[in-house]
Each structure stands twice: as C-alpha cells, then as structure tokens.
Amino acid sequence: MVLHTGKERHILRETMSAMEARLEASGFMRINRSVIVNLSRVREVQPIAGGQFSLMLKNGARLDMTCSLRDLRARLAEV
C-alpha cells in the first residue's frame, strides 16, 4: 500500500481493509477498491458518464469512486 500525505509517499505493508478499519472513525472513507480518502480534503463531487461520480480534491486531484453517493454524502455531512 502507498500512503500519500501531501507531497510525501510512504510504503506500508498493510491491507486496505486493515487501514480502512483504522481510519474510518477519523474522517476517512474508502471510495473505490484501491483508494481511501480524507473527507476533509474533498472539494466537490462531480457526475461522470453512466451515473458514476468522481471526487475533486482541494489539491486538484480527481478520483473516480465506486461507493454509493448516498453513503458519501452522509459521511461528508459528518465532517
């Protein structure tokens, strides 16, 4: 697993599921099979083709999501 923190990258020997369980209560959410995002860094949710959505982060990065939009909105309301 590669953890991106600002401009730094850290390689961790941990599963996504284990990391997700540790971070969930801290305002993080798994948005697809290979991405866990800090919800406080989300700038907007954008629709893309086929009823799918992507997240635009405050740093300009765009991440495609496969999680439910309803679940994401509920989690964003908590942040």
Per residue in 4-33, pLDDT (tens digit) is 888 899 999 999 999 999 998 889 999 999
- Cα separation, 64 vs 31, whole angstroms: 8
Work out the average pLDDT over 36-42: 94
Domain tally for the chain? 1
**pTM across the whole model:** 0.85
What is the domain-level CATH number for residue 22? 2.40.50
The pLDDT value recorded for residue 13 is 94
Does the CA dihedral 19-23-28-31 come out positive or negative? Answer: positive
Report whether pLDDT(78) > 90: no
The range of the structural domain enclosing residue 38 comes to 2-78
Closest to 40 (Cα-Cα) out of 53, 54, 59: 59
Alpha-carbon distance of 64 to 62, in angstroms, equals 7
